[in-house]
Structure 1
Amino acid sequence: MLTDRPVLTDRPAVSLDDYTERARAVLPPDVWDYVAGGSAAEVTLAANRRGLDRVAVLPRVLRGVGAADLRTRLLGRPYAMPVGVAPMAYQRLLHPDGELALAAAAGAAGVPYVASTLASTPIEQIAGAGAEIWFQLYWLRERAMVRDLLDRVVAAGCRALMLTVDVPVLGRHPRDLRNAFRLPADVVAANLPDGRAALAHAGAPGVAAVAASFAPALRWADLAWLREQVDLPLVVKGVLDPRDAVEAVRVGADAVVVSNHGGRQLDGAPASITMLPEVLDAVGDRCQVLVDSGIRSGTDVLRALALGASGVLIGRPLLWALAVGGQPAARDALALLAAELTDALTLAGCPDPAAAGELRTVEVR
């Protein structure tokens, strides 16, 4: 774990990218690679950025719009902006306060925090950090463990359940293999019995401890069973093919997240933003559609909204802020994102996030 961290600058960050470089300077190289890396040749990791940059938004003018109001509704609940904190494992690897700090920052920003099954803090503690919590579920081999997790999620007062469906096995991460990356002894999967995923994650030595816990043959019937177990909004995360989005809605999903897992699973899969329009066309207004993977700015959020998304999940930039300065830096990063999105919507002639869906987009090569 990191304790004493040098202060790199007293200048405030002016973009989320500022946190990226500052985090790189304070983190051990193997931890940096663990978070920053993707699977295999990292083709999909790079595609996420290229895909977003190809989306140009046509602004409207002379519409009498003042500063945009970011308030929105996700899964039927009001939030301060159409952004959620993506589920990310082992946040105590980045800062001793880990999930508690990032959840508190989300609460201050008025956005949902998605707690991971592989969080390094128990869900009961995260739920008391001040944010509305959605719980992200990895399907475990032992259904009794799934049932136990569901009971804890409900008891903790979580507002939604998000099933990640793109991890039948963990992607192979060459950076972690080269670094022989291992989690420190005090960073464990706190929601699993005995932290049974504590040895490693994402292709590192000892990954069998994680892989042995996951069910590799998840089926639509399992999703239907899950829908029957919990009276919470159900989100299916990790959808790229429109046919899967349609099936998720048929089984009872309230929302889907168009996602390639931040480029950490199947390398060569398309950018999430590239598949977003097809998924939206397929499901229509039958469920909300969110998108993640590569979101780095308010302009990126505007791009997603203009294509029709209800909102986005943002991940790595908030981990970098967490690494740099714990809860205060993560809170500042979310405030910066809100300021950027306010500017982007206002400049595009949109009074609110819903109006962004009326904008035209152009693909730029």
Structure 2
Amino acid sequence: MSAAGPESGACPPVCAADVERLAAARVPAEVWDFVAGGSGDESVQAANRAALDRVRLLPRILSGTGEADLSGPLLGSTAAMPAVVAPMAYQRLLHPDGELAAARAAAKAQVPYTICTLSSFPLEDIAAIGGTTWFQLYWSRDRGQVLDLVRRAEGAGCEALVVTVDVPVMGRRLRDMRNGFALPRSVTAANFGAEPLTATHTRQAGASAVATHTGLAFDPALGWGDLAWLRENTTLPLVLKGVLDPRDAARAAELGAAAVVVSNHGGRQFAGAVASITALPSVVDAVAGRCEVLLDSGIRSGTDVLRALACGADGVMYGRPVLWGLAADGEAGAGLVLDLLRTELQEALLLSGCPDLAAARGLAAVLG
């Protein structure tokens, strides 16, 4: 990876944390805060990591296999590993090629890429990269605009709609507020056409311009009736992202959701939320096989993916590390973190005696 620089004599990155350090040195401090920060005191981010580290697995032995098959279905498509690139906004903040570079990396890695409503390239341009794409939907105050985005996603060949359900308002992200963070004029919400100077670009002391824009644009009153309406207006599989309570998971399955994503938004929304992996087993029990279950928030390694599988997940969403890779070295950097995840997962499967993903889901997990 060129980000390390052969002239520096440094070892190339061998894990996501190495890429994180490279990325932090390459982007402006306030952009790094926007990517890295969480809501409130950021304790939910710490809880995600601590909870994942507490999950310890009982490896099996003498499996009789010298290789592991990482591939499997996610919403009907076969992925090379049980991971989806999570929806993340405004990726041109990290690299000029933004979402286009990240989508190319995902396509090469043969994993789905989730296009964000707030992408900084139009969704059609990102989907045209190829590979499997899903479209993440924030619920606009204008239902006509919601339907327009859905039709565009359908027309572009997206294979699922990921409805984010944990952002009635944006959580108080104190780093952004202290920085008075606003987007540079070169970065816009490209799915909404030519943008003049808007709330996203207007600095205000003690406030996040991105949060101001979210409050103006998106409906805080999203409810189950809206999701039922959406179900009636598209044939695409629906994925609900931001589910933690098993009662909500059960209701999503009853509504016909194809999947739920157990997520606390990477610690960026409710500052008192439970760690995602802590909520995972009860959600898996509640849906009882009626829909797929993905885990989001805090995944940093192949061992984390194995932990999620052993706790009942069908796969994971992989977020911030892809942004780190993008910031460090564009498409090559994003591709590197996906390659590292695959390598780590393959090793974790072999070391735990699992020839495939089904065996991984049969591992016993204990709290260490």
TM-score computed with the length of structure 1 as normaliser:
0.96
**Number of corresponding residues:** 360
Runs of 4+ in 1 over 6 A off after TM superposition: none
Q: AA paired with 2:201?
A: L
Say if 1:356 and 1:203 are closer, same or farther in 2 by CA, change over 3 A.
farther
1:124-150 Cα shifts (integer Å, max 9, x gaps):
000011221100000000001001101
Aligned to 1:120: 120
The aligned runs of 1:210-359 (5 Å cut-off) are: 210-359=214-363
CA contact (8 A) 1:302 1:341 kept: yes
1:130–1:9 Cα change, 3 Å: farther
Paired residue for 1:208? 212
For residue 206 of structure 1, report the CA deviation from its aligned partner: 6.2
Cα 1:155–1:65 shift into 2, 3 Å: same
Displacement of 1:336 in angstroms is 1.0
CA contact (8 A) 2:115 2:134 kept: yes
Amino acid at match of 2:346: T
Cα shift at 1:322 = 0.4
After TM superposition, give the deviation of residue 209 of structure 1 in Å.
2.3
Query: In the alignment, is residue 199 of structure 1 matched against residue 201 of structure 2?
Result: yes
Alpha carbons 1:260, 1:266 under 8 Å: kept: yes
Report if the CA contact (8 A) 1:255-1:288 is conserved. Answer: yes
Alignment-derived partner of residue 177 in structure 2: 177
Gaps of 5+ in 2: none
Q: Is the 8 A contact 1:166 1:265 kept in 2?
A: yes
* Cα gap change, 1:152 to 1:353, in 2 (>3 Å): same
Matched residue type, 1:36: A
Report if aligned partners of 1:115, 1:136 keep a CA contact under 8 Å in 2: yes
Q: Is the 8 A contact 1:95 1:322 kept in 2?
A: yes
Contact 2:199 2:209 in 1 (8 A): no
Q: How far is 1:258 from its partner?
A: 0.1
> What is the identity percentage for the equivalent residue pairs of Structure 1 and Structure 2?
57
TM-score (norm: length of structure 2): 0.95
The question of whether the paired residues in 1 share the 8 Å contact of 2:312 and 2:361 is answered with yes
Q: Deviations over 1:193-229 (max 9, x none)?
A: 4446643799614632221110000110110111111
SS at match of 2:201: coil
Q: Give distance in 1, aligned partners of 2:311 and 2:264.
A: 17
Q: 1:23 to 1:284 in 2, by over 3 A?
A: same
Between the aligned partners of 2:193 and 2:181, the Cα distance in structure 1 is: 22
Consecutive unaligned residues of structure 1, counting only runs of 5 or more, are none
Query: What's the RMSD between the two structures over aligned residues?
Result: 1.7
Going from structure 1 to structure 2, the CA distance change for 1:172 and 1:120 (only over 3 Å counts) comes to same
| 1:26 aligned counterpart, secondary structure | coil
The answer to whether the 8 Å contact 1:200/1:206 transfers is: no
